[in-house]
Structure 1
Amino acid sequence: MLVEVRAAGVNPVDWKLVTGGLGAVMESVFPVVPGWDVAGVVVGVGMDTPEFSIGDEVMAYARKDVVHAGTFAERVAVPAWSVARKPSALSWEQAGGLPLAGGTALRTLDVLGVRAGDTVLVHAAAGGVGALAVQIAAARGARVIGTASARNHDHLTALGAEPVEYGDGLVAAVRELAPEGVHAVADLVGGQLETTLSVLAPGGRHASIADPSVTEHGGVHVWVRPDGRETARLGELAAAGLLSVEVAGTYGLDQVGEAFAESRSGHVRGKLVIVP
């Protein structure tokens, strides 16, 4: 289908892609338009899309097999199977920032089998993926401990997590909250393997979206694929008031470079969004 873009989320993978960081794993056809998240209005449908009609408000993680025509555009063609309906509870900017980050959080928690009664440690809990992972885990009835700088602790508490500051003393702080160890660890930043193994309870599960080496220590490396059904699950949580998206800033199509610079700073709380 063809979607008129109302908002497109910025993700670290976007600037990593354009700087050549994914050249070994993804084929690109130049010129490349970046962007994998989108929220917008359907303005054209293909021959086999009976579930969608022109005028529908939708959102999608729109990554394709070949990197070429992304979502930082006025219109983008999107495979129907990657699309879900946009919930009215989310603004265009929130919906545009949700699919990839939310899908990554959801897939990671699904891989970990997080459920009610679990104690879960989320590394980088105030980031774009982390804040969504905290909310999804809390909605499942899990107890969530989240790492973040001190300035974000009140924010994490409001999302449903018990905050701890990363850096020296992190292991002791987590152990003080969970003396027997945590049942699951979601590493959303990388470089946390030693800490993860130090706080994990016997038989605990761990996964990382940024550190493939976790597979050598019983963990799972998560790479999320586009799936409209998973995006729809995120929409259901948002519609039920269990999931919100903090928009940290909006940028025009002529400000993508500025958005990338802000994203690369590593200090963004919430989502940056491109608005055509």
Structure 2
Amino acid sequence: MKATEVVLPAVGEPESLELRVRELPEPGPGQALVRVEASGVTFAEQQMRRGKYYDMPKFPFVPGYDLVGVVEELGSGQSVHVAVGQRVAALTKTGGWADHVLVDAADLVAVPEGITAAEAETLVTNGATAWRMLFRTAKARSGDTVLVHGANGGVGSVLVQLARNSGIHVIGTASARNQDAVAAMGATPVDYRGDIAARVRELAPGGVAAVFDHVGGKGIDDSWRMLAPGGTLVSYGSASTRDQAGSGTVAVLKLVAKLAVRNALPNGRHAYFFNLWAGKARHPERYRAELREDLTKIFELLRSGAIKTRIDRVYPLREAAAALRHAESGTVVGKVVIAPGAGPAE
């Protein structure tokens, strides 16, 4: 069958994206043909189009870090956890910006009824990242106090909601205009332009149990100092270097090295650079099982109303360039979604 997909040909502006049509083969053993209903625009695509994403493929390639869609066909040798006609989600890293894709069936996670494709999409990358950092890396528990940088962002807002749903107190940094939104989620807002460390000391004199930092840069030292004894710093990005010249890989490696040094210090605190893909290559079955477990719990929390999703705007596939440009505008509240079947974005 023919598939329409968006191609990133080389380093360039969002307008350099190209639309192409190509033939897809029949799904082979262990594969599934999925009709894509929704894919997201993440920070990864913003870095990829600059050529600065760590471990990115060679140009040209199809962006799309995740997807939600319907299984249309299964190759031979399938497991029983997905079926033709079922709505599913998948982490892909690349390839999601298309109307049809071939993926490994083992990577698919069932999406329960009562959740739209766009709603589910907002929680694939963001939800898996938030859940795994909060519960698998930091091992936060009810009664803890944690600090979430960018509490109104895609991952940050899910982190806040998951933490509050588990009885964890949250201090959340955000811009002045987003303070009310952070407070509405049950967190204590702190203006990121002020003296964050001083304010956190007022709110948590003994330090916090965990800090979740997507900014990187020099601020990572402040995040470390705000930890309580036994606390955990989880770094999951280097947003501060997005517009800086030079290699994104070098920036990430410097950050990882700094965290490794911190983690080796004999002071009882911990520091980690979170990689959503860590463990998949060495332990693929365990990785898939854990991801399926985590996303299933997150989808159920959404379906039950325990957490909410926010969709900023939905773009059709042919307007992927506009979607990427809007995602980088600094005005987004929620998730920018690309839906192949959507009408023109408003």
Instruction: Check whether TM > 0.5.
Output: yes
Which digits, 9 at most, give the CA deviation of each residue in 1:63-111, with x for residues without a partner?
3xxx5xx111111122222221213343221112221111111121120
Residue pair 1:9, 1:274 contacting (<8 A) in 2 also = yes
Deviation at 1:184, TM superposition (A): 0.8
Q: Which has the higher contact order (CA 8 A, sep 6+)?
A: 1
Matched to 2:179, the amino acid is: H
Give the counterpart of 1:62 among 87, 92, 99.
Answer: 92
- Aligned amino acid, residue 99 of structure 2: E
Q: Secondary structure at the match of 2:37?
A: strand
**TM-score calculated relative to the size of structure 2:** 0.73
Which residue number corresponds to residue 2 of structure 1? 33
Alignment partner of 2:261 out of 216, 222, 226: 216
> Which residue is equivalent to 1:197?
224
- Is residue 141 of structure 2 the alignment partner of residue 115 of structure 1? yes
2:200 is the counterpart of 1:174: yes
Change in CA separation of 1:208 and 1:267 when aligned onto 2, cut-off 3 Å: farther
Shift >4 Å, 4+ stretches: none
| Superposition CA RMSD, Å | 1.8
Unmatched 5+ stretches in structure 2: 1-31, 238-254, 264-270, 278-287, 341-346
State the shift of 1:53 in Å.
Answer: 1.2
Distance 1:62 1:230 in 2: 16
The separation in 2 between residues aligned to 1:275 and 1:245, in whole angstroms, is 16
| 1:39 equivalenced with 2:68 (yes/no) | yes
Identity %: 38
CA contact (8 A) 1:9 1:98 kept: no
1:98-109 aligned at under 5 Å gives the runs: 98-109=123-134
Distance of aligned partners of 1:204 and 1:89 in 2 relative to their CA distance in 1, 3 Å threshold: same
Q: Where does 1:1-276 land on structure 2 (aligned, <5 Å)?
A: 1-22=32-53, 25-28=55-58, 30-47=59-76, 48-63=78-93, 67=94, 70-109=95-134, 110-191=136-217, 192-210=219-237, 211-212=255-256, 213-218=258-263, 219-225=271-277, 227-276=291-340
Q: Contact 2:67–2:92 at 8 Å: present in 1 too? A: yes
Q: Which has the higher strand share?
A: 1
Of 205-214 and 39-48, deviating more is 205-214
Evaluate the alpha carbon distance shift between residue 244 and residue 215 of structure 1 in structure 2; reply closer, same or farther with a 3 A threshold: farther
Q: CA deviation at 1:150?
A: 1.5
Larger Rg: 2
CA distances 1:153-202 after superposition (whole Å, capped 9, x unpaired): 11112222111110232111111111221111111232331221232112
Contact 2:149 2:156 (C-alpha < 8 Å) held by counterparts:
yes
| Higher mean C-alpha deviation, range 207-216 or range 36-45 | 207-216
Q: Deviations over 1:2-26 (max 9, x none)?
A: 111111111110131233113x623
Q: Secondary structure at the match of 1:236?
A: helix
Tell me how far apart the structure 2 counterparts of residues 25 and 275 of structure 1 sit (CA, whole Å).
26
Contact 1:247 1:273 in 2 (8 A): yes
1:155 and 1:168 map into 2 onto residues whose CA distance is 18
CA distance in 2, matches of 1:220, 1:267: 30
* Unpaired stretches in structure 1, ≥5 consecutive residues: none
More moved, 141-150 vs 217-226: 217-226
Distance 2:214 2:304 in 1: 25
Shift, 1:131, TM fit: 0.4
